[in-house]
Structure 1
Amino acid sequence: MNLKKNRHNKRVIMTLPLGFGVGSHVVSYSLYLALKSVEDSVTFLSPFMEQSKLAACEEHIEKKSFQTVLDNICALVEQAFEKNRWVVLEGVCQILGSASASYINARLSKALRAHVVFITCPTLQQTELLERHVALSKNIYLENSRAKSLGVIVNKFGFEEGVFEKNRQNVSALKASNVLAVIPWDKELFSFSVEDLLEKVKGLPFFKMEDGARLITSFQYIFAPRDVRVEEQTHTHLLIISSRHVEGLEHLLKALEECRERPFILVTDSAKNSVQSDLYKKLAKCTNLMTTSKKVEELMVGLGSLVLFPPLEQDLERLEVKAKTLARFIHGAKIIEKCERDKEGEDASLLTPTQFRYFIKSRAKFAKKTILLPESGDDRVLKAASIAKSEGIANIALVGDLETINKRCKELSLKPFLEKEVFSIEKEAPALVNALVEIRKHKGMNGQSALKALQSPIVLSTMLLKSKRVDGIVAGASTTTADTIRPAFQIIKTRDQGGQVSSLFFICFEKKTVIFADCAVSVDPSASEIASIAIETSKTAAKFGFDPKIALLSYSTLESGKGVSVDKVKEALKIIRAQDSSLKVDGPLQFDAAFEEETAKIKAGDSLIAGDANIYIFPSLDAGNIAYKAATKVSGSLAIGPVLQGLNQPVNDLSRGAGVDDIVYTIAVTAISS
């Protein structure tokens, strides 16, 4: 799976509604049609259209497991990219009484590095505040992320008579808001059917339901006789009157007898009594009558939601027609041109944590490797193994007793493992004795000591890897780092005789993914060892789709400070450049100068990688280990690793504080490395 091939020139355009009732769905679909008219490789996704899916999403928010939602949407988008260059993704509509929409939209736009199109529908009074409104929204949704604003579509503009033509040019000229389109109010678009109305108000019709599909384009509340002007009404108009307003009902009946059109009448607060029944019968003879027991106050809310959210999504034919009408106001070619100015997407370090997680899993699935987990007595390991197996991240093997493992799986509500997936020490150890003696005979090992050593799940696993019965090992959940990697040094050995073994972590910050090394193995590396770690890390990074840009870290930036450790880093830089002059590397650099573009301009203006580094090489284990733990705990960033490098075959060591997710992603990384 090639990152550049899969992601080159592929873009997510995400629509974000600014407020309640802006017509998000039909405008989003219109945007899709406008882009489709320019380029065929476009698809439309609306993952939250169904109320049940939005409710499930809100449950994840409550349970603090929203990353699951992000992962699922990211997978949906990436699958769409397999056949399309462009994905138009509709964000969550603002719903009265719900505070989740803004949270979901902000998290999702950042997670997908989306190009955002805001949708709003200001009234005339709000037009002058449009720039301020959009600027504030940019800060809320896009701050500290690689998501970018394309601009704003102003919908339902100028519903007051003559307002649209008068103000459209003024709105379009608002440069700071970058108005992409101004769409006029269309009363037919925001109409609703009689069936929709009856369902909403639990109404009773006094007419045949073949008229139920007719659209209501306008409505009026009648509170006094003077409000009744039926001569102005049409067959698409709705008059609403309370059953308690008997005088108004009688006046209405008289007026309707002389009217050529038959508007719909909805009588509220309806109750059974002889006076009303008689009036209803007379009204039903000259118009389309409906009754409801709901009060006028309740009806205002119900009708308001119908007008703001006409159920077009259920009427796909009508949606298609209306969206085509609106699409004429959206310049698809200009939007595509604006997106294509952004050349990001070809370097894995620019992926967001959600995208990187998906990328890692996808690469692992493509590799189809078998990964061995020796610590089957740890519940975290069993859960992670079950997830990796069910998602197809890797073929999983365990060390232990099949019956014991499956008994615990049943208690944890996990699917049982098959006999072929579990290596028994009792069965496997005797067959590996001679091979282990051959490897360790120079240290005085014999058959008896070899058999004893193979009772360790870690040693047995390392021998199974050596014999190529599995492709990699993930261990350390309940074993120390020393006990995990010692057998690897003794049995697997390093790629170069006496070569350097080091480790790295992928640190997934919200804005980008970077690599920290060495954070787990080398206590106090020399200049040549730092150089070796940097070169090896660049090779590993390239395997994972990175364009390596290496910062050699110190408390000093370039020539700003002096000291033994600064001199060590300077010497390491000389060694690296002598061994591989093509590498993008610089140092010594302080972390802020390596990470932040603005700081880099001040402290290291002449450096080619300062402010843009994606590999950070620490001068000692103290610095590296403290930094990765501080970064993850304080910022909440995801850390994947440690990934050991320099061995002949992949053995990766877990932190004993690793969670289930950590183990799953280490399994994926190990599969890619093998």
Structure 2
Amino acid sequence: MPGRSFNDLSSDIVVPAFVVDEVTGAANGLAGALDALGATVIAGAQDLSGLHAGKLLIADMGLTNLLPEVKADATVVFSADRSEIGLGLLIGGASGRFPRPAAAIAAGPWPLADEVRVLWNKLAPQTPLLRSVNTIEQVYLTVKNYEKVPARLNAVQLAQARRVVASEVDASLLLDNAHPIGREDIVTPLMFEHRLLEQARRVNKHIVLPEGTEERILRAAHRLAEQKICRLTLLGDPAAIGQLAAELGLTIDGIQLIDPQTSQLREQFAAHYAELRAKKGVTLEQARERVADVSYFGTMMVLEGLADGMVSGSVNTTAHTIRPALEVIKTKPGVSVVSSVFLMCLADRVLVFGDCAVNPNPTPDQVADIAISSAATAKQFGIEPKVAMLSYSTGTSGTGPDVEQTIEATRLVRQRAPGLIVDGPLQYDAAVDAAVARTKLPDSPVAGQATVLIFPDLQTGNNTYKAVQRSAGALAIGPVLQGLNKPVNDLSRGALVADIVNTVAITAIQAGLE
């Protein structure tokens, strides 16, 4: 019954609602996961509509043990460098002794032998073989999650939905006398991501992506440009980037492409870099060679004002991303250390975890700087900072050198940022759980309501963020680097396309607040 308001049915419902015809054919299951992973169908059936993952089978065993486990509704995930798994699935199916799976996914950054693809098309043309550069674990978690979420609409279906809403929904009921309902402090991961993209779109900054020939980067760039989130430059051979985009069916119109090896900017950057690093003995010839590297070239673009920020790390190491920034962009005045935070999107709120990626054993002085920087980052993204300095002790319940370091770091934060709401030492449960806080530290201005959680060392921080991410199903956005004069952010080498999009949006927002 399209277009009929629920207000017609019941006076008890105060929120206008409409029932519209179902938009069919949306992508979930394997099709949705394919999009999220930036994966491609490389052999077999190309149409994934209506195909679900069924039983996910990780091929971490030999063929003798694997083939008896394969069922007709199963999706087999195997490492791309194990061609014998792909060939074994084909031979097992062709022999008639074992069923062919519903689909197979070759995962990981390693090349898959072309013979597997060729034979797959001949022996299993009805079974899709997918290819993803993500790890087996990431593929497993993404496919598993997509079996649980509502379908995603493609462009045609979105257009259909808009037409239905325009023709069937009385917008005046939604817009007239509008007022907020529900709890204003609830922020879901979807709400937070939407806010990020909207905020980035408003500031309209220019971000450089040095790893322009990497497939996930290219897919993210396509999405960012299509949604007009920011302006972009991709580094790499323009011909190679264009060819890969064409193969993937991606549009990169409006995205600037620069090859550091041949760019006229190389000489300008080399001269400036040599000048900045002269005291370190860097010659002009060495500088020419160094700025031809994509990470250095991208960093110099940011330094020279030709880009507002940089995002890298999908194939390069964290050190390779950060080192050039430390050499030429340097830290903000008054900041002793570059650090990082993760924005942890839980079911109903967003927490800021720092430092979980950069500094292994910070001193109390550095922990204080990390806390102040993390509070500033929280504010940038609309999170009111209430800072918990974490330890294995709450208040005066414990003693020891580690607790004393947290007490000293807390004192330094209060001294340097007297307007900041901070308390410590606090245990994690006392920091975030109001019931525990009432028992352990009832008079604390932070306990039970902390939004920024500062860990005493990298080992604690990194393991905690991963535990919360995996066990609580939290969306972890980051690491977001802080303390640099201009925004440069690092990606996990296993980053999904959505992770890259979020990180670029964050970088644009940081640039807009400089």
So what's the TM-score if we normalise by structure 2? Answer: 0.68
Matched position secondary structure for 1:522: coil
Counterpart of 1:344 (choices 184, 187, 202) is: 184
Q: 1:550 to 1:494 in 2, by over 3 A?
A: same
Matched position secondary structure for 2:28: helix
Residue equivalent to 1:360? 196
Residue equivalent to 2:218? 382
Q: 1:542 to 1:416 in 2, by over 3 A?
A: closer
Q: Would the aligned equivalents of 1:397 and 1:423 in 2 still touch at CA under 8 Å?
A: no
Q: Would the aligned equivalents of 1:402 and 1:417 in 2 still touch at CA under 8 Å?
A: no
Q: Distance in 2 between the 1:479 and 1:32 partners?
A: 59
After the TM superposition, which residues 436-475 of structure 1 pair with which residues of structure 2 at under 5 Å, given as runs?
436-475=273-312
Residue equivalent to 1:618? 455
Residue equivalent to 1:234? none
Q: Distance in 1 between the 2:299 and 2:267 partners?
A: 15
After the TM superposition, which residues 500-515 of structure 1 pair with which residues of structure 2 at under 5 Å, given as runs?
500-515=337-352
After the TM superposition, which residues 580-659 of structure 1 pair with which residues of structure 2 at under 5 Å, given as runs?
580-659=417-496
Q: Which amino acid aligns with 2:474?
A: S
Q: How large is the RMSD of aligned CA atoms in angstroms?
A: 3.2
Residue equivalent to 1:102? none
Q: Which amino acid aligns with 1:597?
A: A
Name which one, 1 or 2, has greater alpha-carbon Rg. Answer: 1
Q: 1:393 to 1:604 in 2, by over 3 A?
A: same
After the TM superposition, which residues 385-400 of structure 1 pair with which residues of structure 2 at under 5 Å, given as runs?
385-400=221-236
Q: Which amino acid aligns with 1:461?
A: G
Residue equivalent to 2:21? 50
Q: Which amino acid aligns with 2:28?
A: H
After the TM superposition, which residues 521-540 of structure 1 pair with which residues of structure 2 at under 5 Å, given as runs?
521-540=358-377
Matched position secondary structure for 1:403: helix
Q: Which amino acid aligns with 2:193?
A: R
1:567-591 per-residue CA deviation (whole Å, 9 max, x = no partner) reads 1111111111122222111111111
Pairing 1:27–2:6 present: yes
Q: Going by fraction, where is helix more abundant, 1 or 2?
A: 1
How many Å apart are 1:405 and its aligned residue? Answer: 0.4
1:137-189 per-residue CA deviation (whole Å, 9 max, x = no partner) reads xxxxxxxxxxxxxxxxxxxxxxxxxxxxxxxxxxxxxxxxxxxxxxxxxxxxx
How many Å apart are 1:615 and its aligned residue? Answer: 0.6
Q: Would the aligned equivalents of 2:231 and 2:255 in 1 still touch at CA under 8 Å?
A: no
After the TM superposition, which residues 393-432 of structure 1 pair with which residues of structure 2 at under 5 Å, given as runs?
393-417=229-253, 420-427=256-263, 428-432=265-269
Q: Which amino acid aligns with 2:184?
A: E
Q: 1:67 to 1:533 in 2, by over 3 A?
A: farther
So what's the TM-score if we normalise by structure 1? Answer: 0.52
After the TM superposition, which residues 534-553 of structure 1 pair with which residues of structure 2 at under 5 Å, given as runs?
534-553=371-390
Q: Would the aligned equivalents of 2:233 and 2:255 in 1 still touch at CA under 8 Å?
A: no
Q: 1:468 to 1:50 in 2, by over 3 A?
A: same
How many Å apart are 1:28 and its aligned residue? Answer: 4.6
1:216-264 per-residue CA deviation (whole Å, 9 max, x = no partner) reads xxxxxxxxxxxxxxxxxxxxxxxxxxxxxxxxxxxxxxxxxxxxxxxxx
Q: Which amino acid aligns with 1:365?
A: R
Q: Would the aligned equivalents of 1:594 and 1:612 in 2 still touch at CA under 8 Å?
A: yes
Q: Which amino acid aligns with 2:456?
A: P
Matched position secondary structure for 2:383: coil
Matched position secondary structure for 1:425: coil
Q: Would the aligned equivalents of 2:368 and 2:413 in 1 still touch at CA under 8 Å?
A: yes
How many Å apart are 1:447 and its aligned residue? Answer: 1.0
How many Å apart are 1:605 and its aligned residue? Answer: 1.7
Q: Distance in 2 between the 1:482 and 1:538 partners?
A: 25
Q: Would the aligned equivalents of 1:527 and 1:569 in 2 still touch at CA under 8 Å?
A: yes
How many Å apart are 1:409 and its aligned residue? Answer: 0.7
After the TM superposition, which residues 289-300 of structure 1 pair with which residues of structure 2 at under 5 Å, given as runs?
none
Residue equivalent to 2:411? 574
Matched position secondary structure for 1:495: coil
Q: Which has the higher contact order (CA 8 A, sep 6+)?
A: 2
Residue equivalent to 1:103? none
Q: Would the aligned equivalents of 1:556 and 1:590 in 2 still touch at CA under 8 Å?
A: yes
Q: Distance in 2 between the 1:650 and 1:447 partners?
A: 26
How many Å apart are 1:423 and its aligned residue? Answer: 4.4
Matched position secondary structure for 2:277: helix
Q: 1:437 to 1:355 in 2, by over 3 A?
A: same
How many Å apart are 1:537 and its aligned residue? Answer: 1.1
How many Å apart are 1:592 and its aligned residue? Answer: 1.2
Residue equivalent to 1:189? none
How many Å apart are 1:33 and its aligned residue? Answer: 10
After the TM superposition, which residues 212-251 of structure 1 pair with which residues of structure 2 at under 5 Å, given as runs?
none
Counterpart of 2:391 (choices 535, 554, 563) is: 554
Q: 1:662 to 1:650 in 2, by over 3 A?
A: same
Q: Would the aligned equivalents of 2:189 and 2:347 in 1 still touch at CA under 8 Å?
A: yes
Matched position secondary structure for 1:575: helix
How many Å apart are 1:497 and its aligned residue? Answer: 6.6
Residue equivalent to 1:371? 207
Pairing 1:669–2:509 present: no
1:277-313 per-residue CA deviation (whole Å, 9 max, x = no partner) reads xxxxxxxxxxxxxxxxxxxxxxxxxxxxxxxxxxxx9
Q: Would the aligned equivalents of 1:553 and 1:590 in 2 still touch at CA under 8 Å?
A: yes
Pairing 1:60–2:31 present: no
Q: Would the aligned equivalents of 1:425 and 1:460 in 2 still touch at CA under 8 Å?
A: no
1:45-74 per-residue CA deviation (whole Å, 9 max, x = no partner) reads 54x6212x2x345x4267556999xxxxxx
Q: Which amino acid aligns with 2:241?
A: I
Q: Would the aligned equivalents of 1:406 and 1:417 in 2 still touch at CA under 8 Å?
A: no
Q: 1:578 to 1:405 in 2, by over 3 A?
A: same
How many Å apart are 1:646 and its aligned residue? Answer: 0.7
After the TM superposition, which residues 45-444 of structure 1 pair with which residues of structure 2 at under 5 Å, given as runs?
46=18, 49-51=20-22, 53=23, 55-56=24-25, 59-60=27-28, 63=31, 344-345=184-185, 350-417=186-253, 420-427=256-263, 428-444=265-281
Counterpart of 1:489 (choices 316, 319, 326) is: 326
Q: Work out the number of aligned pairs and report it.
A: 378
